Chains A and B, each alone.
Chain A
Amino acid sequence: MLRRTTTILAAGLVAVATGAWSDADDNELVVNDEIEITTQAAAPAHVEGLSEIYSGWRFREVDTQAAQMDDFDNPAFLAVDAAQIKWDTVEGEAGKSCASCHDDVMESMKGVRAVYPKWNETAGEVRTLAMQINACRTENLKAEAYGYTSNDMTAMEALISVPSRGMPMDVAIDGPVQSTWEQGKEMYYTRYGQLELSCSNCHEDNYGNYIRADHLSQGQTNGFPVYRLKNTKLNQVQDRFKGCIRDTRAETFNPGSPEFVALELYVASRGNGLGVEAPSVRN
Chain B
Amino acid sequence: MRLSTLTLAMTLAAGVAYANPVAPGDVSYTEYGAIEASLSGAPGDAVNGASVASSRAMGNCVACHKVSSLDAAFQGEVGPSLDGVADRWSESELRGIVANAKKTYEGTIMPSFYKISGFVRPGDAFTGKAAQGELDPLLSAQQIEDVVAFLMTLKAQ
Selected interface stretch from B1-9, B26-34, B59-67: B59-67
User: Which residues of B are found within 8 Å of A183, using beta-carbon distances?
Assistant: none
Contact digits for A156-173, partner B, Cβ 8 Å, 1 yes 0 no: 000000000000000000
Which residues from B are CB-within-8-Å of A249? 122-123, 125-126
**Closest A residue, CB atoms, query B129:** A251
Main secondary structure on chain A at its contact with chain B?
loop
CA distance in complex: A245, B78 (Å): 19
A197 and B111 contacting across the interface, CB-CB below 8 Å: yes
Closest chain A residue, CB of each to CB of B130? A251
Q: Collect the chain B residues with CB atoms within 8 Å of residue A210's CB.
A: 74, 76-78
| Range class of the B interface residue count | 20 to 34
Residues facing A in B120-135 (CB within 8 A) are: 120-131, 135
* Interface presence of B112 (CB below 8 A): yes
Determine the chain B residues whose CB is within 8 A of the CB of A194 once the complex forms. 111, 119, 122-123, 131, 135, 138
- Closest chain-B Cβ to A230's Cβ sits at a distance in Å of 15
Q: In the complex, how many angstroms separate the beta carbon of A98 from the nearest chain B beta carbon?
A: 33
Asked if B109 is an interface residue, CB under 8 A from chain A, the answer is: yes
Interface of B is mostly: loop
Closest Cβ of chain B to A197, distance in Å, is: 7
Q: Give every chain A residue within 8 A of B77 (Cβ-Cβ).
A: 22, 209-210
Given A209-B76, A209-B77, A212-B63, answer yes or no on A250-B112 (Cβ-Cβ < 8 Å): no
B121 partner residues in chain A, CB cutoff 8 A: 192-193, 245, 250-252
Of A195, A212, A216, A247, the residue contacting B62 (CB under 8 A) is A212
Q: Separation in Å of the A251 CB from the closest CB of chain B? A: 4
A144 in the interface, Cβ–Cβ < 8 Å?
A: no
* Contact indicator A196/B78 (Cβ below 8 Å): no
Q: Is A96 an interface residue (CB 8 A)?
A: no
CB of A206 within 8 A of CB of B109, answer: yes
Residues of A within 8 Å of B63, CB to CB, are 211-212
Q: Does A252 contact B128, Cβ atoms closer than 8 Å?
A: yes
Interface of chain A residues 184 through 206 with chain B (CB within 8 A):
190-197, 201-202, 205-206
User: Does A242 interact with chain B (Cβ within 8 Å)?
Assistant: yes
Selected from A193, A206, A211, the residue in CB contact (under 8 A) with B123 is: A193
Judged by a CB distance under 8 angstroms, whether A4 is at the interface is no
Asked whether A251 lies within 8 Å of B78 as measured between CB atoms, the reply is: no
Q: Kindly provide the distance from the CB of A147 to the nearest chain B CB, expressed in whole angstroms.
A: 17
A252 CB contacts on chain B under 8 angstroms: 121, 123, 128
Cβ-neighbour of A211 out of B76, B120, B131 (below 8 A) = B76
- B120→A250 contact, CB < 8 A: yes
In the complex, chain B residues 26-82 whose Cβ is within 8 Å of any chain A Cβ: 56, 60, 62-64, 73-78
Chain A neighbourhood of B78, CB < 8 A: 206, 209-211, 216
Bound complex: CA A211 to CA B75 (Å): 7
Mark B4-23 against chain A: 1 for CB-CB distance below 8 A, else 0: 00000000000000000000
Interface contact A192-B126, CB-CB below 8 Å: no
State how many angstroms separate the Cβ of B122 from the closest Cβ of chain A.
5
A-B contacts, 21 of them at CB < 8 A, read A192-B119, A192-B120, A193-B119, A193-B120, A193-B122, A194-B131, A194-B135, A196-B120, A197-B111, A201-B109, A210-B76, A210-B78, A211-B63, A212-B62, A242-B128, A245-B128, A246-B123, A248-B123, A249-B122, A249-B123, A251-B124
Instruction: Give chain A's interface residues, CB within 8 Å of chain B.
Output: 22, 190-197, 201-202, 205-206, 209-213, 216, 242, 245-252
Q: What 3 A-B pairs are tightest by C-beta distance, nearest first?
A: A246-B128, A213-B74, A251-B130
Given contacts A212-B76, A242-B128, A251-B122, 20 further A-B contacts (CB under 8 A): A190-B120, A192-B119, A193-B120, A194-B111, A194-B131, A195-B111, A209-B77, A209-B78, A210-B76, A210-B78, A211-B64, A212-B56, A212-B60, A212-B62, A213-B73, A245-B121, A246-B123, A246-B127, A248-B123, A249-B122
